[in-house]
Structure 1
Amino acid sequence: MTSRRTFLQTTLSLASASVLGFSVPKANPRLAFSTLGCPKWPLPQIIKTARTEGYEAIEIRGIEGELFLPKCPALSTPTRIAETRAQFEDNKLKVCNLGASTALHFMDSTKRRKNLDEARQFIDLAQQLACPYVRVFPNDLPKDQDREQTINLISDGLLELARHAKDANVTVLLESHGEVIWKDVLLRIMKQAEHPNVGLIWDIFNMWSVTKEPPTEVYQTLKKYIRHAHIKDGRMVNGKPQYTFVGQGEAPLREAIDALKKGGYSGYYSLEWEKMWHPELPEPELAFADYPKAIQKYF
């Protein structure tokens, strides 16, 4: 138990530091960025930037424009994969997530099999890279499909992938994305897909920009499942997002990050700079340098 004397000494020390103009150390969030933000960069440039700018990890969505990661030269054979893993380890970086394009809503058996097979290949690759997560999409609630059946398809797909991921020591993360961004729909899917190797990526802006659900409520509803957070900021203009550097838009990031902190979240705060889909955005070297400084004000 902390003694009264120790408590007073600590309090006086902090007060003295404030008076003398010294800053009290802040918590350091675990930072990552997605390679969605640098679609033209080769892997060495990605790694060098992450190391220089103080990131802990990289989320691989694609490399040099190739989104199907097993086709990327650096990830195409067991030898190349081992060399790439060593590059990350030598630079004291982790691969925190592999972003598959897998969508689980398809009822068509051929499309469904193709998407599940892709996810399994990403899971096997994640195992070889010592990467804990593989991201998949829900992704849609098509009007020509029964809504209940679609929700069940998404949940069943997660469970099928989880059984494969369990042996690989990988967790499959469903991202709040596409049409599946309402907290109650996501909760239902996650409950139906309850499994140690299933979790959720909370894309704060993706959800809020459409649903306007308060982040505190979203977090309280889904906190049990959240393993990873995508951070971006922007404004809605004529119903479409216009992305900005973090802290310069309208996204309720402070409320969301406060909820994560209070809830004991220990995962990554991963910048998702959507340069791949929005080439008009500022260059990645600017965004990746800005983010570590911009995010600190929330901590």
Structure 2
Amino acid sequence: MIRLGTMTSVCPDWSIEQIIDGMQRHGFEGLEPRAGWGHASGFELDMPAADRDAARAKIEDAGLKISCVATGAKFAAEDPADLDKSIAEANAAIDLAADLGAGLIRTFGGARGKGEIFWMVNRTAEAYKRVMDHAAERGVIVMMETHDEWCVSTQVRAVVEKVNHPNLGVLWDLMHTQRYMERPEETMQTIGAMAKHLHAHDGRYDTENGKITTVGLGEGDLDYVTPLKLLHDAEFDGFFSVEVIHKSGSDHDSDATLKAYGDGFRKIVANF
């Protein structure tokens, strides 16, 4: 079953209690903390053990779940020192996810330099292998997101296949693969079976600077009906997690974002 989730990036200034209230108000089931950004909810890689236990209890007592821990770890990093930092970040996130009852963490490929994709895939796969033992020990799946320089699903699949480990999967960002002109049917065939989690942020190609503007679900130029129907028919069991990024302290309306995406999601899946 595809369930509705949100990242703390949607509501960076809300406490855990406010997040629970907002999620329940708009029909959300899963929370994806974005560690490392100083959100008011306090989910960080150095979060004390007692705080981890308390946060998990509050979420679960409300009938909700921590779906995933989102990191900024980049496994295609060319600089050994940068890669070591990403490895350490991922390992810490694995521990946080396990302690919070989440079975997933989000990572990136990130910038990969120049050269043949064959070598980039091999180098990135070797980096992911470095965290597989720890992930297996803690019962957490590390996900590589279709994101940044790794939006083409065949390249992400190549990394996952090269690692060939049950604790490495894919986070399918439904926007980014379409930005790279993949049809949802193509992406589904390529990584659908590897996908463990989804990111949602609709967008409109109408800005003068050539970029895409984030809008409410169903208000943009991206196709969310097709991939969600394909995943539904394939009995995907995971979260459709809203990734609308609001900066802490900025002028934004977290409640309106949750309502727009909650209503939009239910409108789509009601026809399945």
1:162-181 → structure 2 map (5 Å cutoff): 162-181=132-151
Residue of structure 1 aligned with 2:256, choices 283, 286, 289: 286
Q: Aligned match of 2:242 in 271, 277, 299?
A: 271
- Return the alpha-carbon distance in structure 1 between the equivalents of residues 210 and 81 of structure 2: 34
Superimposed CA distance per residue, residues 110-161 of structure 1 (whole angstroms, 9 cap, x where no aligned partner):
1111110111001011111111101110112323x66433222221222222
Task: Please name the residue that 2:218 is paired with.
Answer: 247
When normalised by structure 2's length, the TM-score is 0.91
Contact 2:146/2:176 (<8 A) preserved: yes
**1:97-176 paired onto structure 2 within 5 Å:** 97-143=68-114, 147-176=117-146
> 1:177-196 counterparts in 2 under 5 A?
177-196=147-166
Identify the residue that residue 228 of structure 1 maps to in structure 2.
197
Given that residues 78 and 113 in structure 2 are in contact (C-alpha distance below 8 angstroms), is that contact kept between their aligned partners in structure 1?
A: no
For the pair shown, the structure with the greater C-alpha radius of gyration is 1
Which deviates more from structure 2 when the two are superposed, residues 80-89 or residues 151-160? 151-160
- The 8 Å contact of residues 14 and 41 in structure 2, kept in 1 or not, is answered as no
- C-alpha contact (below 8 Å) 1:70/1:125 kept by paired residues: yes
Partner Cα distance (2:10, 2:123) in 1 = 31
CA distance in 2, matches of 1:293, 1:92: 20
Supply the AA of the counterpart residue of 2:8.
T
- Distance in 2 of aligned mates of 1:249 and 1:122: 33
Cα deviation for residue 65 of structure 1 reads 6.5
Aligned to 1:4: none
Q: Which amino acid aligns with 2:69?
A: L
Matched, 1:197 2:167: yes
Describe the shift of the 1:61–1:242 C-alpha distance in structure 2 as closer, same or farther (beyond 3 A): same
- d(CA) in 2 for partners of 1:147 and 1:68? 35
Structure-2 change in CA distance of 1:65 and 1:102 (3 Å) = farther
Kept after mapping to 1: 8 A contact 2:13/2:41: no
Superposition deviation, residue 172 in structure 1: 0.4
Equivalent AA in structure 2 for residue 256 of structure 1: P
Q: Secondary structure of the residue that 1:70 maps to in structure 2?
A: coil
Match of 1:214 in 2: 183
Question: How far off its partner does 1:67 sit?
Answer: 9.2
Conserved? CA contact 1:107–1:150, under 8 Å:
no
1:64 is matched with 39
Asked whether the 8 Å contact 1:141–1:147 carries over to 2, the reply is no
> Could you tell me how far apart the structure 2 residues matched to 1:245 and 1:51 are?
19
Give the Cα–Cα distance (whole angstroms) in 2 for the partners of residues 127 and 134 of structure 1. Answer: 10
1:155-177 deviation line (CA, Å, top 9, x unaligned): 12222222110000110011111
Q: State the alpha-carbon separation in 2 of the partners of residues 109 and 68 from structure 1.
A: 27
Match of 1:51 in 2: 24
Report SS of the residue matched to 1:240: coil
Hey, what's the Cα distance between the residues in 2 that align with 1:178 and 1:259?
Answer: 24
Counterpart Cα distance in 2 of 1:240 and 1:65: 29
- Look up the match of 1:295: 265
- Partners of 2:43 and 2:267 in 1: CA distance: 35
Bigger RCO (CA 8 Å, 6+ sep): 2
For 1:265 and 1:294, the matched residues in 2 are separated by: 19
- Root mean square deviation, CA, Å: 2.1
Shift of 1:212: 1.0
Query: Where does structure 2 lack aligned partners over 5 or more consecutive residues?
Result: none
User: Structure 1: how far apart are the matches of 2:27 and 2:158?
Assistant: 37
Matched residue of 1:268: which SS? strand
